[in-house]
Chains A and B, each alone.
Chain A
C-alpha cells in the first residue's frame, strides 16, 4: 500500500508539471506580446511592464519563466494582479465559497441521486422508474446553463420562491438551488449507476444466500445488497467532488456566486494572466489529489482490491 501510494505520487509529478506548463505556455507565451490588452484599452504603463517582466522573468525563455514561477509558487507566492492585489488573497477569499457550494451540491446529488437509484434499482419498470429514467436523461443531456437558467427563471423570477442570485453571506438556503443545478448532471449519473448496480447485485448469489440464511429483508437489502452496490457510487462521488472543487464557471456565473470559477473567468476575460495561471494550478492540484484519494477509497471499500 505504501509503495503504491509512493508510485502514484511520483506519477503525479510529471502530470502536474505537464498540465501547469501547458496552461502557463498558453496564457503567457502564445499570444506573443504578454501585455497586449492587459491594461484595458490603453497600452500598459512602462513601470508595470518592467515590474512584471522582472518578477516573472518575461524577457527570458519560457522554461526559465516557468521554473521561476513554480519556485515562487512553492514558497507560497502566487504573484499579484496588475492592480497589485496578491493572487493568494483572491484564492483565499473565493475558494471557501466554491467549497461551500461544492459541498451543498455533493450532498444534494448524493441524497437525491442515491435515493432515486436505490428505489428504482429495487423496483424496476414501475412509474417511479420511468420518471427517474426520463428526468435523468434530461439532466444528463442538457447543458448546465440551460438547466440553470430555466430553474433560476422558474424559482427565482416566475414563482419568487428564492432569490435569483446568491448574496455575499452565502447562506445555505440560498445555495440549495445553485447546488442543485451544479450537481444535476452528477445526480443523474449517480442515480443511474446506483440503479444498475443495485439491479445487478439484486440477483447476485450472495443476496440469495443472505435470504436463505433467513435474514430479514431490510437487512438483506440494507447490509448485504447496499454495501456491495455502493462501491461504484461512492467512488463516483469522490471523483465528482474533485470536479466540483474545480469550480463551477457557469453555475457561479448564473447565480453570481463569488467563487473560484467566477474569479478565473473574470481573470480570463480581463486578461489577468498571472491570476489565471495561479488559480488553474491550484485547481489542477486539487483535482489530481482527489483522483488519487478515490483510488485509495476504492481499495478501502472493496477488500478484493489490493494495491501492490
Chain B
C-alpha cells in the first residue's frame, strides 16, 4: 500500500510535499569537485524508509549507495563533496537546510549509523565502554557511573558476553564480530528512529555475518526502527529486507518488494546481478557476469548509464535517460524496456 505511493512519488519526481514518512531522500544530487574534474556521484536518488521497515540499498562499489548514506548523516567530505540538489526529509523536514546544531541533534538520536570496518570506525585510544558511555554523558548529561551502567546494559543487549568486564577493553582487544556488536550498541545507545548500516557484515567471517544480521533484525523489530541496509551482497539482503532499491551510477534503477525483485527483476542490471550469483544446479558452467565496467562518473555516457553493458540495449537507450517509472504494484524501474522484462515468462 505505502509502496505504491512511493513509486508514484518517485516516478513523478515530486519534491517538497510533506508526508507522514520517517525518512525520505528526494531527488538527491551530489558531485565531487576535484582538480581533475567534476564527478557526478549521485544523480537524483529517491528513496524512503518508514518505522519498523527495512530498506536494502544494493549496488556495486561506486554506485553511490554509501555517499547517499553519508549525505544523510552529514559526514560527507565537503569539499570535494557537494550537494547540488534535492532534499533529505526527516519527519517531513529537510535536514539539508537545517543549521549545523539542529543536524547534530538528529545524529545519534534521530538517525544513527554503523560502519563496515569497526576497527577503524572505533577510536583506538579509548575503551569501548568510554565510547558508548560518552553519548550518555554528552547527550543525556548523565553522571559517569550512570552512563557506565547504561553502557554495560547496551553491551548486554547486543549479547556481548561478560559485558561488565569488556567495558574497559580497547577496540583492538575485541574480535571482529564482537567489535561490530559493540559498534551496534554504540549506534543504538540514544535509541535512534532510523539506523543506517553501511555494509555491516562485509568485513566479517561468513558465520559471524549471519549472527550480526540476525542481531540487527531482532533489534530492529524490538525497537520498531527504520533500517537502511547498504550492501553489495544479494545473499545478505534476502532474509531481512522488506524492500530493495538497486543503485547504478548514482541512480536508483529499480525499486521493488524483495519477492518481486527476486522473482522477476524489472531492470537488466538487476537481472545481471541475480544471474551472477553462483548456483549449485549450474555447477561446472561458466559464471555469468555482467560484462564491462561501471561508467566513469566524470563522463557518464548519454542516455541510460547502463547502456554500454546492457545486453538489451537499443538505439533509444543511447539517447534518452529512462526515468524511474512505476511498473506494477509497488515497484518501479528505470528501463525503457521494463514492461517487457516484467511481462516475459
Contacts and interface: CB of A to CB of B under 8 A. Distances in A.
Nearest to A209: B121
A205 B190 CA distance: 20
B120 A206 contact: yes
Contacts of A210: 123
Nearest to A210: B123
B233 interface: no
Contact of B77 (A203, A212, A216): A203
For A208, A212, A304, which residue has the most chain B Cβ atoms within 10 angstroms?
A212
Nearest to A215: B138
A204 interface: yes
Contacts of A217: 100, 104
Interface stretch (B111-119, B159-167, B278-286, B333-341): B111-119
A205 B124 contact: no
B124 A213 contact: no
B124 A208 contact: no
B313 interface: no
Interface in B178-227: 186-187, 190
B11 interface: no
A217 to B, nearest CB: 8
Contacts of A216: 104, 138
Nearest to B100: A217
A205 B105 contact: no
A227 interface: yes
B139 A228 contact: no
Interface in A179-232: 203-206, 208-217, 219, 224, 227-228, 231
B338 to A, nearest CB: 36
A189 B172 CA distance: 30
Given A203-B77, A213-B134, A224 B123 contact: yes
Contacts of B109: 214
B170 A304 contact: yes
B74 interface: yes
Contact of A211 (B74, B117, B120, B187): B74
Interface residues of A, number: 23
Contacts of A215: 104, 134-135, 138-139
A77 interface: no
For A213, A216, A228, which residue has the most chain B Cβ atoms within 10 angstroms?
A213
B158 interface: no
Contacts of B107: 211-214
Given A208-B75, A213-B134, A215-B138, A227 B125 contact: yes
Contacts of B134: 213, 215
Contacts of B122: 206, 209
Nearest to A202: B77
B83 interface: no
Q: Determine the main DSSP class of B at the interface with A.
A: mixed
A54 interface: no
A63 B42 CA distance: 77
Nearest to A216: B104
A176 to B, nearest CB: 34
B105 A206 contact: no
B106 interface: yes
A198 to B, nearest CB: 15
For B77, B109, B134, which residue has the most chain A Cβ atoms within 10 angstroms?
B134
B75 A212 contact: yes
A302 interface: yes
B172 A304 contact: yes
Contacts of A211: 73-75, 107
Given A203-B77, A205-B117, A303-B170, A212 B123 contact: no
B124 A228 contact: yes
B123 A209 contact: yes
A214 B123 contact: no
B291 to A, nearest CB: 34
A205 B120 contact: yes
A214 B117 contact: no
Contact of A302 (B104, B125, B135): B125
Nearest to B124: A304
B174 to A, nearest CB: 13
Contacts of A301: 125
Interface string B14-42: 00000000000000000000000000000
Given A208-B75, A302-B124, 15 more contacts: A203-B77, A204-B120, A206-B123, A209-B115, A210-B123, A211-B75, A212-B73, A212-B75, A212-B108, A213-B112, A214-B104, A214-B105, A214-B106, A215-B139, A303-B125
19 contacts: A203-B77, A205-B121, A206-B121, A208-B115, A209-B115, A209-B123, A209-B186, A210-B123, A211-B107, A212-B107, A213-B108, A213-B186, A213-B187, A214-B107, A215-B104, A215-B139, A219-B138, A228-B124, A304-B170
